[in-house]
Structure formats: structure tokens, C-alpha cells
Structure 1
Amino acid sequence: MSHSLSIDALAAAGVTEVSAPDLLSPLLQAPTSQRAGAAEPLGLIVGELIALTDEGRTPLVLYPGQPGHAALPARTVIDLHGAHIGRHVTLMFEGADPDRPIVMGVLRDVAGWPLPDRPGAVEVDADGERLVVSAQESLVLRCGKASITLTKAGKVLIEGAYVLSRSSGVNRIKGGAVQLN
């Protein structure tokens, strides 16, 4: 049964006025499988994160009933890490296309926290003037060739192609020993 309506067919049938609902009703009443190019929505599926490629930007996933046997590249709405590899993930599909999965989340284990060690705390004061960042071993601020590293042992390492220390008041260098060059 064809559900197409053309202007010529309507004119031949003596129809002079047709509203939009009249034109769309045969399409809306047709079963999904009869609509041209329509696919059954896959809904939410639980799959497995197999690997991360492209320096961690592209997840590879497997899910039950997927086309082919190889892992599929997916997009993601969450940050995925190496610790998530092998974990169950929730997947949805762009345009209901089973070849275009999108990772929506990582299912939690009974233990709760998905990573082996909870990351250091980040604390922001309410007044917005102070930011405290904590790390367990070291903290690195990096921009191009310049970096500032703070270590657990109390070392502060400043590296760069050009380092300037300037002060409108006293610029004091204090230490058990001071070495220049």
C-alpha cells in the first residue's frame, strides 16, 4: 500500500483544499517499518568500554547485538579514563544508527567510586578570591615550555625559557644555601 500523495493525484480526485494534517495522516498512521528509512530506536543499551584511542579522545565499545564483531568507535558525553576500561557503560545511538554509539555514562560498581583512588580535593572559597587545589604526589601547572611543579616532599620547581622575578618592594631569596649558576 502506497502512502504518497501528489498534487496531481489530489487534483484528479477533485480535491481542491487539503490541510497539512490531511497530508501527514497517512504517514503518521503507517507502521514504523513501512516508513522510508526509519529504523527502530535502540534505546539505552549497556555495553563495555574496550579501549581508549586517539590519546584518550575516542572510546571503543562493544555491546550485545552490535553489527560486526569489532569494537566500534564511539563519542562520549563524559570524561573517560584508563581506569574505566573493561567497565560497563550506558550507550545511546545517534539517529538510532547502531554504528554510531554515544557513551552516556559509566555504571558504578557496588564500591561506589569508579576510580581506584579518589582524586585530590578542589576547594573554592565562597568569596571567589581563593582556589585551593590538592594532589597526593605532585601538582604541575604547565603552559608551553613553562611549568611550576609542587611536590609532596615540599619542592617547588620553576622551569621556563625565560624566568623573571620582579618586585616593587623587597625581593628576598632565603634558604639553607643559595646557589647562583
Structure 2
Amino acid sequence: MNVRENVDGVVIGMFLGFRGGAPLVVFPSNPHDHAIPARSLCALTADDAGSEIALLFEDGARDRPLIIGRIVEPVRQNTAPQVIHDGKTVRINAQERIELRVGKAAIVMEKDGHITIRGTHLVSHASGSNHIRGGSVNLN
């Protein structure tokens, strides 16, 4: 097996835990057949054992690994609206706005509380009282 003496660039390895307070790592082209102690630029805990890590090597020496960070999954924002249906109620939660559209009709709800109802004809029916409340009510 032909292995270079010095390592250039980042190598992906694995953090296995601690021995004597030093993090133990394994990586491809490890000069030993066991985990070796490393220095670290980031805080690691026992819970991180088994995590992939990015390594550089002091002076390019394979026996002097330096952990520069733990590989993490990028945080993905859930942009899809959340729909909850319990048999009695359907609840739709969204971050910015919800729009219901059919043909020329639309109901738009904004996160700031602004609600717009548009259509060619709007009809309100009530078998009881029909209340319109607001800080001010403008008709035409």
C-alpha cells in the first residue's frame, strides 16, 4: 500500500470518543491500526462519538490530526404548510401567507394579520345576527 507521508487538504474521519481528555479519531490513511488522539478547534462531547469530522494535519503529518469541525446536516426550513386534521377540525399553518383561490375568488391571509377577501360578488348570510366589528368600518 503506497501512502503519502504528508497530507494536504481536508480529510473526513470519525470521532470515536475521549481518552485522557483527548478526542480519538480514525480516518483513511491513518498510520496506526487504532484510533489516535487529536487536537480540536471545536467543542466535542461524548454525545458526538460516532460523528463524522473534518480533519487537517499539523505540518501535514498524518500522526498529528486537528479536528476543524463536526460534519452536520444543513438545517432545512420547512416551507411546506403544516396541515392538521383531527376529524373535527382542519388546521393549516404557514410561515408567511395562506392563499385560497378558485377562478376569480380569493381569500389571502398574511402573517401580519391582514386578510383580504376578493370576488366578483360577495354574499353574507346569517340566520342570526351578522356582526361587523373593527377599529373602524368603511362602507364604500
| TM-score (structure 2 length as normaliser) | 0.47
Structure (1 or 2) with the greater helix fraction: 1
Which one scores higher on RCO, CA 8 angstroms, separation ≥ 6?
Answer: 2
| TM-score (structure 1 length as normaliser) | 0.37
